[in-house]
Every structure is written in structure tokens, then in C-alpha cells.
Chain A
Amino acid sequence: MNDNNARRVVSVIVVNEASVLSRITDLFSGRGYNITSLTVAPIPESKYSRLTIVTSGSVRVIEQITKQLHKLIPVLRVYEHADLVEKEMAMVKFPANENIADISTLCEVYNGKIVNVGENVIIVMVADEPKRVDNFLKIIKRYNPKEIVRSGAVALER
């Protein structure tokens, strides 16, 4: 069953033009595919943007997703990654009265640090593999996080 719903990362290079993101998300919702996360940003010095979509499905579904994406007119390329480096960022807000030293040490383990210290809250960031970010977020529960934001994954093929 796991194979039928395996997590997949798909990167899509699209022309950076109006409504291109809706074309992609409409395709997913219209055909009943999942989006776990989606990130998008322009590719420097080009007219293209790169989307990284984390999705899940059977081999056939993933094949359909890549083909259907490719069928969209503004889509230049679709990569369905096999061997990739994947990173995700998360930011967490803690009450300032929590143990800052402990939190700071934890963040370092997950490629992060404290990025803002205010009167009432501190904000930290980590950047790591999505699974490790999951782990980090589990561990820091004991420090009463007030707010959590995740960026969604970005990936590059090795």
C-alpha cells in the first residue's frame, strides 16, 4: 500500500507569467491529485519560475501528473526526482521566558539559529530535510511554541 501512496517531489519550470500558478493548482484540484506542499520563486536572470511540489500517489498517478503538467502550455520542463537533495525551512515563535540556551542549541543541530529576540517572544529558524524538520517540530513542543511556519520543500537533483 505504501507504494500506492508514496511521497514524491516534482519540480516544474514554468514561464513566469500571470495565472501560471492557478493553471498548476487547478490541474491538481481538477484531477484529484494531492499537494502536500508547493513552493515557487523566479529563477534568477530568466523569464522562468521554478515550482517544487511535494505530492503523493501511485506510480501511474505520478506519471499522469508529470504528463498533465507538461501539457500545460507555459510549462517548460517537469522533473520527477529520484535522487535529490531536499531542504525545507521552518520558523518558530517561543515565549521569551522559555529556556533560550536549550532552544538555541537545538536549533544548531537542525541548521538553525535564533533570528529575533523581542520583549515577549523569540523567533528561531531551522533549515533541513523535511523529515528532520518534522523531528525538530516534535522536539520543541516542550518549549510551548506559539506559532510555527514551514516553507514547503525545495529540491535539486544530485
Chain B
Amino acid sequence: MQINGAQMVIEALIAEGVDTVFGYPGGAIMNVYDEIYKQKDFKHILTRHEQAAVHAAEGYSKASGKVGVAMITSGPGFTNAVTGLADAYMDSIPLVVISGQVPMSLIGTDAFQEIDAVGISRSCTKHNYLVTCAADLPRVLKEAFHIAATGRPGPVHVDIPKDVTAEIAEFDYSVVLELETYKPHIKGNPRQIKKVMEAIANAKRPLFYLGGGIINANAAYEVRDLVQKTGIPAVETFMARGVLSYDDALLIGMLGMHGSYASNMAMSETDLVIGLGVRFDDRVTGKLTEFAKNASVIHVDIDPASISKLVNADYPIVGDVKNVVNEMLELTAGVESKKYKAWRETVQNFAKLHPLAYHEDTERLKPQWVVQRVGELLGDSANISTDVGQHQMWTGQFYPFTRPRQFISSGGLGTMGFGFPAAMGVKAATPEKISINFTGDGSILMNVQELMTAVGNKLPVINIILNNNYLGMVRQWQTLFYDKRHSQTDLSVQPDFVKLAEAFGGIGYRVKTKEEFDAALKDALEKNIVAFIEVVVHRMENVMPMVPAGGSLFNMMLLEKKGDK
């Protein structure tokens, strides 16, 4: 059929089964918004900032497993969205982000709201396109969705000049994609998988190192089977929280900079690392030369460039982790769970020696308690988002995650301001679940305008603001490594968070005690509207344990025993 470029965008989104688009209109994308006005097949959620539109699309994608879609205009609309693109790129989140561009005839003339968008997005997207004629649009959009979702997922940016959205051409979405240069390797090498299973059978102290790639590949339940069947203990990265249920006896915990003592010690003592969908991030490994230095390394990943990038893999397997784990499950006959009994006990002893813990305080609430309490009260019924900072690490440490896609956080880029818009996307994708955003008094102000979006679109996200009147994580580093010079981290000057929420039509609470917190949470759930629960917490609480940046995993700063001070 002959339609214009703007109509093609709509038809393509419908053909891709998109039900929600997050966006913000503007001059160059107006033709597309005109078509959005005319259609009823998908919902458009108007955020109040382009960055939030992309984060919401990320949250939507992470909770649903589908490709997230965001739409923005040229120039500042696009540059505002760049942080979102970079965030999705670092965390391998499949997105299609469509931006308007000035008309072809004006490109290169420094026109109003013109910026070289594809030039900017090139280094923070999996791929990008500047569409120069409407006839290319069906193919480009189909490629964009395909590339975003396959292989190692990631954001794809499509920049469409305004005249292209008005141009009429043939639209046929049944075009068969011929991507001769893009063929992700899905199936792991069978011989290599066999060798891996032999290595596991021969290992004395093997350890599963589970990463976010497992969630991207929808392989968490297969991995649960593999862990059960082999009886091998497992550590999770921050991005992998929920792959195993928190109460799985074989789950040691989270490893890395703020990982548990037992997890980091297990990684230091293991003789065989079984890495699944991981990328050996510096926040996980600490000092590379000391990382798992007694171990051989198995590394399964869909991205060949991730393998042996930082840590040499003795058993590299390029493939989709779900495929590979399914093959591994067929070959577990030689692996005897009872052989690792002593190793499991060693790990349990590590956990007993320094369990993940905190000390209660009589005067002020401890932030860890708040996370734990929400876990007790809501557990599996909530999806949990976070912003970035101390509260994020406490959530990773203390929330009892029970399933994949329950936890949505900005891991790789560490984007403050991510949590609230992401939680709106999560709520849009999974309305049957409660959507909680743990945030800090610093982070929440970075996208606080989204209160309006959440109220307007009835996305009742409950934001739990752990307020310590500090940029807490930076303050923690200043306390520990900068001789307590708290440069520019004191946030004593603050808005009235209760009134702020109310001004937008939400509801606000300020709580200082456990009873007040329980009551506020209960009330917010009952009212089912957007809420701020500001929890006044201990100002100087640090995230512990901690591996100082560049240090070895086994050299942790630990929680001071009570009375040590």
C-alpha cells in the first residue's frame, strides 16, 4: 500500500506488536504524532522529559522482555534521550528509539533544532539509521526491531527527517530481511559444551557465576535446574538478582564491590568459574590479576567480544545461554552433587563468619531495614526498581528476589534518575504487580517531573526515598578515602517531599519510625496512587562489605562488629 512515512512508522509499530510507546512530541516528529492521534492500536505515554521516555521504555522492556519503544523530536529532544540510549546500551536492553530530524534539505545547515543525531548515538547504540527516503522505512524499522532483540540485545536508534515522514512510498512489512553481515551465533559448540561438562565433573570447588545475560535470554529457570541438578553453589551479579530465588540453598549471594563476604570469598577460592551471561565488569571482579586466580574459567556468552576481554576464558562458548544451558542439562550424568559437599560447607562457613548484616539504631531507621521490611511485606508481589547509589546497593543486598525480571536497575551506566521513569515503564508492562522504586534524596530529584506522567497516566509507582540528606555513595567514598572531606555531597537543603508529591496530585508521607513506615506503605497501597514515602534514615550509614575500587575481592572492608567503635 502507498502511505506516507509517518503512517509507515505507525504500521510498523503495530506489526511489531507494540502496545505502549513512551515519548515527547516536537517540531520534527509532528507528522508521526499526527498519526499517533489517529490510531487506537497502541497507547502513547507522554513523559515530561525525553530522558524519562527512554528510561520508561527500558523499564517496560526489562519487565516484559519485549522491545521497548520511545519517540522523541530532533535536537534537544534527541540529546535529552542520549543518557537513556547509553544506559540501555550498557545493560543490553532491547529498544527502538525513533527521533525526528530536520528535513533532508536542511541537514547540514545548522537548522533550528538540528543536531547530528546518528553521529552522537553511534557510540551508545547497538546500531543506528538515518532514513533518507520513505521507501527505506519498512526495511529499516523491521531491521531495527530485529537487531534490537536478537544476539546481545541493545538499543537501536532510527532518525527520520521530517520530509521523509511526509513522503509517500510503498509499504510492505512482509519484506524478508537480508542481513548478510549480522548473524548472531546462537548455538554453542557441542564439543566445547562436552568439554565444559567434563571440566565441571573434574572440579573440586566449582562455582556458578550468574549474570544479567541469563535474564535477557529468558534462561533463569533452566539455570535453576542446572544449579539444582549439579549441586554447585552460585553467586549472582547485581544484574542477575532474581535468576535464583533468594531462598535457594545453593545461592551464596551477590558478589563484587558490595557483594557478600561469602560470595567474594567463594570466587577467590573456587577452582572452576562457570560464567553464564556475565561480562567480568570491574565492579564485579575488583583487581583482575587477583580475581579467581586459582580457577579455570568457563565463559558462556552470546557476545564473542565479551569473551576473554578482561579475564582469559579457558573454555569459551559463544552462544545463547538458554541454548547452551539446555545442552548442559543433557550432559549432567557425570557430575556428582555429593562430590561438592565439602565445598558447599566451606561456603556456608564463610556465610556464617560474616553474614550480610547491619546494626539497628535506636534513634534513626536504618535504610537496610526499610528494604528488608518491604521484602517481608510485599516479597514476590512487587517489581522493584532502583535509582543509583547506596539505596541501590542495599536493595541488591537485602531484597528477597524470587524471580527474573523482578529487579530493574541501572547497572552498567549507573544513571541517577533512572528509577522512577523505569518503574513507570515496569508498571505499564506489568500492571498486576506492585511497582516499587527505591530511591535516594539525590536521585529522585533527577527525574522528579515524572510525578506528572505517573499521575496523569495512573501509573501508581511507590517511590521509597531513603533520605539521608547526602549524596550517600559519594559521601561514603569521601568518608573512607578522602579523609571525610564531604565535598558537595551534603543535601541538607531539600524540598518538602510530601508537598512535592501532593503538588503533582500524588500522595506523600514522611516517616521516621517502623510503625510509621508500615502505616504509610499500607496506605499508599490502598490508595493506589503515585506515592512518595520519604524515610528519614541514618545519615552516616555505609554500604558494607566493600571492596575498595581496584582492590582484590578477598580484601573486603567488613561491617564493624557491634562495640568495635
Contact = CB atoms under 8 A, between A and B. Distances in A.
Interface of A: 14-15, 18-19, 22-23, 26, 30, 60, 63-64, 67-68, 70-71, 73-76
A19 B131 CA distance: 12
B118 A73 contact: no
Contacts of A70: 304-305
B304 A26 contact: no
A15 B182 CA distance: 11
Contacts of A63: 308
Contacts of A76: 180-181
The secondary structure that dominates the A interface is: helix
B119 A22 contact: yes
B123 A30 contact: yes
Contact of B303 (A23, A71, A75): A71
Interface of B: 118-119, 122-123, 126-127, 130, 132, 147, 179-182, 303-305, 308-309
B122 A67 contact: no
Contacts, number: 37
A67 B318 CA distance: 12
Contacts of B303: 71
B181 A75 contact: yes
Nearest to A27: B123
A79 to B, nearest CB: 15
B304 A18 contact: no
A73 B304 CA distance: 14
A73 B147 contact: yes
Given A19-B130, A73-B181, A64 B305 contact: yes
Contacts of A73: 126-127, 147, 179, 181-182
A67 B304 contact: yes
Contacts of B118: 19
Contacts of A71: 303-305
A22 B122 contact: yes
Nearest to A74: B181
Given A18-B132, A26-B122, A67-B305, 5 more contacts: A15-B181, A18-B130, A71-B304, A71-B305, A73-B181
Most chain A beta-carbon contacts within 10 A, residue among B179, B182, B305: B305
Nearest to A68: B305
Contacts of B123: 26, 30
Contacts of B132: 18
